[in-house]
Structure 1
């Protein structure tokens, strides 16, 4: 289970909205003091994500919680979002090359394959069933300091 601390920002019957701080690697390397990207991250602050979780425990606004998603869920979502469009791009360009299309046609057909992969990715990750499959769950109340921040 991949876990991250969150703060409850809104509560409705059976549902809570939590806010997490998205972490990046900026500021954590040896060059953080002189890196332009690190300076921008400090100026604009850490972006926040607002997520909906099921609330069967009666959470309250301001409460610290830990939310998480199963490891396998993250791997599947990453595959669908990143690898599937790339596979379609390469496959369509490969078929076009095999059929003897010119370089310009291969490039255009490859871009069309990428578009098809992105469309299919959206179809697989959209809708109510996908939202339920990829949504985080409440792991425990009280954000503990031993929960590592994801990078």
Structure 2
């Protein structure tokens, strides 16, 4: 996965970059006729900012290309979207088989487990930030620099 970003700050070997978050709607022909497309226009000016450790020299304002291996993106997406749903279903099935809880309480506990899984993943991803930063490759984006005055 490749993305163009702008260098906003440089402190030693730590480079802070900002990139605009895109939606799938930006490439769709029906963007003006679709409810999701209209909503994506409302939230269109969202930016992601993060720091990457690199040995290369960059200057603020410079456009760079970020590259993350597709396997890493797939793995993290499966964890982020699949694990909470799996936990919700697993907790519901296990609690249902006990036979001692009401259906409403089982639903409530299942959604609590779902939320706790997201919370746990958030904490886990924060601890893995260093490893994630090591996967990100930061390169000068010469083509973008020449096409944007």
TM bucket, shorter chain:
0.7 to 0.9
Q: Which protein has the bigger helix share? A: 2
Deviations 1:80-119 (A, max 9, x none): 2221121111111101111113211221221232133223
**What TM-score results when the alignment is normalised by the length of structure 2?**
0.80
Say if 1:41 and 1:102 are closer, same or farther in 2 by CA, change over 3 A: closer
SS at match of 1:93: helix
Count residues in correspondence: 142
Greater RCO between the two (CA within 8 Å, min separation 6)?
A: 1
Say if 1:51 and 1:107 are closer, same or farther in 2 by CA, change over 3 A: same
SS at match of 1:26: helix
RMSD: 2.2
Say if 1:98 and 1:44 are closer, same or farther in 2 by CA, change over 3 A: closer
Task: Note the C-alpha offset of 1:69.
Answer: 1.4
**What TM-score results when the alignment is normalised by the length of structure 1?**
0.79
Work out the CA distance in 2 between the residues paired with 1:42 and 1:93.
38
The alignment status of 1:81 with 2:80, answered yes or no, reads yes
Unaligned runs of 5+ in 1: 146-151
Task: Note the C-alpha offset of 1:65.
Answer: 0.9
Work out the CA distance in 2 between the residues paired with 1:98 and 1:48.
45
Unaligned runs of 5+ in 2: 145-149
SS at match of 1:53: strand
